[in-house]
Amino acid sequence: MPTITTSDGTEIFYKDWGTGQPIVFSHGWPLTSDDWDAQMLFFLDHGYRVIAHDRRGHGRSSQGSEGHDMDHYADDLAALTEHLDLHDAIHVGHSTGGGEVARYLGRHGEARVAKAALISSVTPYVMQDEDHPIGLPASVFEGFRTALAANRPEFYQDVAAGPFYGFNRPGVEPSEPIIRNWWRQGMTGSAQAHYDGVYAFAHADFTADLQKISVPVLVMNGEDDQIVVFENTAPRAVELLQNGTLKSYPGYPHGMPTTHADTINADLLSFFRS
């Protein structure tokens, strides 16, 4: 099982398939690199080298008690790209993974990077405060943490069966295999890492990170995203980027890389080739 060991002793699991221009995928909370199956197989078939890792405390990476914050996530991603000596890489992040990509670029620069895509991303900021009245109240995120601590298996079942994929919307047929796969990935990780991770993505402000990024960035967001609300995030992220493009999807949910993989993959491929 391929892993790297970071400077603080954390083992990070990763997959590295194929040859060609590298695409590096950063997954959402509380999932794993498995959540990118539909993208990794698609882009491998289109001649790219595809790489994805399990964030610290998630999946097959080690479950230490420290470092469950956006700076450590970004530093772990930097350690992976340096270990693999990646150049001209394309970074793709979903949800918390979008924040991880933005913080990586803001903290470690663009020398190894060609482009990036932020999908349903927590950038630039998701929480409500005096300077950001359109964000979600802090009580929403504390509710996540309370539900996780009280009964993680049930909470993860409810998230996957409900708002994450829009399976709670009228007329939408839930997919039990997708729900079970989400639950499976979540339950392989550390409860403490996931508990701390909610605080990490909810309280992180990525404004300064986005303002530093000059490579082309495609910002993709479903207009019916019930986890990262479109109006609160994607349009504002594009305004902060030097070379950003917004693509929105009417009716698409937060988990659209899974539920609408054909569309998302085709749009990513078009952006990569442009």
Cβ(218)–Cβ(118) under 8 Å?
A: yes
Residue of 33, 61, 95, 190 marked catalytic = 95
Determine whether 87 is an active site residue.
no
Phi/psi for 16 (5° steps) reads -145, 100
Amino acid identity, position 164? F
Among the listed residues 35, 76, 209, 225, the single catalytic one is: 225
What are the backbone dihedrals phi and psi of residue 247, each rounded to the nearest 5 degrees, phi first? -130, 120
The secondary structure of residue 34, as a DSSP letter, is: G
Q: Which amino acid is at 176?
A: E
Are the C-beta atoms of residues 244 and 237 closer than 8 Å to each other?
yes
225 is catalytic: yes
In this structure, the chain runs to a length of 274
What is d(CA 176, CA 258) in angstroms, rounded to the nearest whole number? 13
Interior CA angle at 190 toward 187 and 192, to 5°? 125
Q: Is 95 part of the annotated catalytic residue set? A: yes
Q: Which two tokens stand for residue 171?
A: 């007329």
What is the Cα–Cα distance from 12 to 51, expressed in whole angstroms? 13
d(CA 190, CA 4): 19
Annotated catalytic residues are 95, 225, 254
